[in-house]
Copies of this chain bind each other. A is one copy, B any other.
Amino acid sequence: MAHISIIGAGNMGQAITAALTRDDNVVDLLGKEDADKPVDGDIVVLAVPYPAVDQVLAQRPGQFDNKIVVDITNPLNFETFDSLAVPADSSAAEEIAAKLPNSRLLKAFNTTFAGTLAEGTVGPLTTTVLVAGDDADAKATLVGVVNASGLKAIDAGSLKRAREMEALGFLQISLASNEKVSWSGGFGIVD
């Protein structure tokens, strides 16, 4: 059992809540109106769009210290829809990690559409969550929580792999936006 705070009650925050409450976890889903509620979970999921992350960090100084913080963003350039809004040799996860030096930052949930997290399946496959990060214990904790929820989790390597995971997330959104895959489909993983 884990105690998880999810900041952001949009479709991804709701889908991750649906997934993680299948197991016996305590999940606090914090929406915009909950800015004054504390972050009580040991794992904090930043389920807001990338441009909103800075505001969340400013609203909650020190609240992420010593916690496992999970970045789920796909930092698309929504003006051009043709690139990411972070430097090509970096990632949203690495940018956020630099702003939270006292947290254990992980990248996860950005390569799975909300529908596949809530359903637990991508077509005939169990939905698989890729988890990247530099803190092995934090990563093992999140992998365990995800596996216990009935999804599958795979350790995708160091936080640097967030670059490729964000590229994958971008490509998947691009395919769905162009109606090449549905929002309930996309990339599945066969192990």
Q: Mark A164-191, 1 if CB is under 8 A from B, else 0.
A: 1101101100110010111001111111
Interface residues of A in 144-174 (CB under 8 A from B): 154-158, 160-161, 163-165, 167-168, 170-171, 174
Residue in B164, B181, B185 whose beta carbon sits within 8 Å of that of A170 in the complex = B164
* A125 with B191: CB separation less than 8 A: no
> Copies of this chain, how many?
2
Q: Mark A63-77, 1 if CB is under 8 A from B, else 0.
A: 000000000000000
Closest to A123 in B: B190
Task: Place the interface of chain A in its size category.
Answer: 35 or more
A168 — which chain B residues lie within 8 A by C-beta? 164, 167-168, 171
* B154 with A180: CB separation less than 8 A: yes
**In whole angstroms, what is the CA distance A156 to B179 when docked?**
11
Most central of A124, A157, A174, A185 by chain B CB within 10 Å: A157
Whether a CB of chain B sits under 8 angstroms from the CB of A89 is yes
* B178 with A189: CB separation less than 8 A: no
**In whole angstroms, what is the CA distance A167 to B171 when docked?**
10
Residue in B88, B157, B158, B180 whose beta carbon sits within 8 Å of that of A156 in the complex = B180
A174 — which chain B residues lie within 8 A by C-beta? 156-157, 161, 164
Sample of 7 further A-B pairs with CB below 8 A, known A168-B168, A181-B191: A82-B160, A123-B190, A156-B175, A164-B170, A164-B174, A167-B168, A188-B189
